[in-house]
Amino acid sequence: MSDSRKPRALDGVRVLDLSRVLAGPWASQLLGDLGAEVIKIERPGAGDDTRGWGPPFLRDEAGAPTDAAYFLSANRNKKSVAIDISAPEGADLVRRIARTSHIVLENFKVGGLKKYGLDYASLAKVNPALVYCSITGFGQTGPDAPRAGYDYMIQAMGGLMSITGQPDGAPGAEPMKVGVAVADLFSGMYASTAILAALRHAERTGEGQHVDVALFDCQIAMLANQASNYLVSGKAPGRLGNAHPNIAPYQVFPTADGHVVIAVGNDTQFAAFAKAIGAPQLAEDDRYRTNRARVAARENLIAAIAPLMRKKETREWLSIMEAAGVPAGPIN
């Protein structure tokens, strides 16, 4: 019987995954989603640390807990193999798998795999076309290379926490981390993109590459407009709660029964929004006519909008905004 399944982008590509926890597993999971065969190496008797990061835990048919939901979130589409790489025979087995792999992914401390003969230089000798990706906190070189890197500290050091949370003077004001480990997740996504670029190079030339991904670098890169704001103005961005530094109104508003997010992205949407809330005059006011003006007069603008938004329930506002073509959403 023939296989009628459509081929996936990475069918035929083998990934040897030596990573654990989140950034590395997230990258290899993305490659698996695209069709790659992912062979995940885990410690005998223990496995990936995140198998025990619960509750909650998935339960088997008998109701007994098995793997943590955390582990399951980053390890679909993989074949797990328990190998002790500290044992010579275990390291040799991993090298044998590497010979027939296209990609190796690891997130050990810098130099941590060299003593097992599983570093890039060693594996490139037996597989010159190998794409070898290392994910660490601060990269393979530089004064901070030996340091361990964890998402929470990277969010802090990389500037994300300084722009997240309520502004100074507001209740609960303090730097805040994001609700999921975004530094790890973005690093995994950057890693998967870089791996695909290196894989294309290997296919063209037969030459592999060592891809160096640092959580700190990725965190800085994902500051995006906030980083550009600083580079252009020289002014460090601060915390604005749920407001946006470059757009207004683009934030949470209290309603009669909860909250709603209003995401006005241009002047046409603002005119539609002003009409929808029963205040069309706001769009004709020179203080609010353009986004640039609205950002400059943000405090007065929000003071005019907020009382109006409290007059209706969230569901009603969502219906009104949908009809008006104004981006809006509930907080689920």
The first and second tokens of residue 183, run together, are 């530094």
184 assigned to active site: yes
CB 31 within 8 A of CB 192: yes
Contacts of 151 (CB under 8 A, 6+ apart): 22, 23, 181, 182, 183, 184, 215
Cβ atoms within 10 Å of 293's Cβ, excluding its own: 16
Quick one: which H or E segment has residue 213? Answer: strand 209-214
- For residue 33, how many C-alpha atoms fall within 13 Å in the half-sphere facing its CB? 12
**DSSP structural state of residue 22:** S
**DSSP structural state of residue 182:** H
Quote the CA–CA distance of 151 and 155 in Å, as a whole number.
6
The SS3 call for residue 79 is: strand
Q: 182-205 vs 23-33: helix axis angle to the nearest 10?
A: 50
Of residues 17, 48, 151, 184, which has the active-site annotation? Answer: 184
Quote the CA–CA distance of 81 and 74 in Å, as a whole number.
16
Active site positions, annotated: 184
